[in-house]
Amino acid sequence: MELTLSISELSEKTGLSIDTIRYYEKIGVLPSPNRKSNGQREYTSGDLERFIFITHLKRTHMPLKEIDHYIQFYIDQDYEGCYQVLRKHKEDIEMQMSEMSIALEKMNYKLDNFKSLVAEQNGKRS
């Protein structure tokens, strides 16, 4: 018999809130789970693996739309498609890092400039 988890157990194991799990199901990132006779959600170990994988992708700031594409490619065993989604996301991250690096350089320049102005101003007060 396969391991089954409740939504609260799934939440605990993945670190996702129950609302996030329900949201992912609602928008179709993951299929709706099986239900027990009392209506409670019932998740399998495969569901747990998918949620953990999605959690890892979300931590890289991958948009849900891209995660959805990736999952569909994976289900279809289109590994080239999976590769392309991950490659594009990596390129997006590299672009963001480059932009952040430029922004950091500008902030350091401004801070150095104001540090000089503060020192100059403090020198005049002495």
Per-residue DSSP letters for 24-90? HHHTTSSPPPEE-TTS-EEEEHHHHHHHHHHHHHHHTT--HHHHHHHHHHHHTT-HHHHHHHHHHHH
- The percentage of residues in the chain with a pLDDT greater than 70, rounded to a whole number, is 98
pLDDT of 79 above 90:
yes
**Cα 50 from Cα 76, distance rounded (Å):** 15
Per-residue confidence (pLDDT) for residue 126, from 0 to 100: 62
Range 92-97, long-range pairs (CB < 8 A, 24+ positions): 93/60, 93/61
Per-residue confidence (pLDDT) for residue 75, from 0 to 100: 83
> Structure pTM?
0.67
Kindly report which listed range (22-31, 61-70, 84-93) carries the lowest average pLDDT score: 22-31
Q: Among positive and negative, which fits the CA dihedral 56, 59, 63, 64? A: positive
Query: What's the rounded mean pLDDT across residues 96-110?
Result: 96
**Cα 13 from Cα 47, distance rounded (Å):** 11
Q: Among positive and negative, which fits the CA dihedral 86, 55, 24, 36? A: positive
Strand-pairing partners, residue 44, are 4
Q: Tens digits of per-residue pLDDT, 14-33? A: 888 999 889 888 887 777 88
Q: Which two tokens stand for residue 109?
A: 């320049």
**Cα 22 from Cα 32, distance rounded (Å):** 9
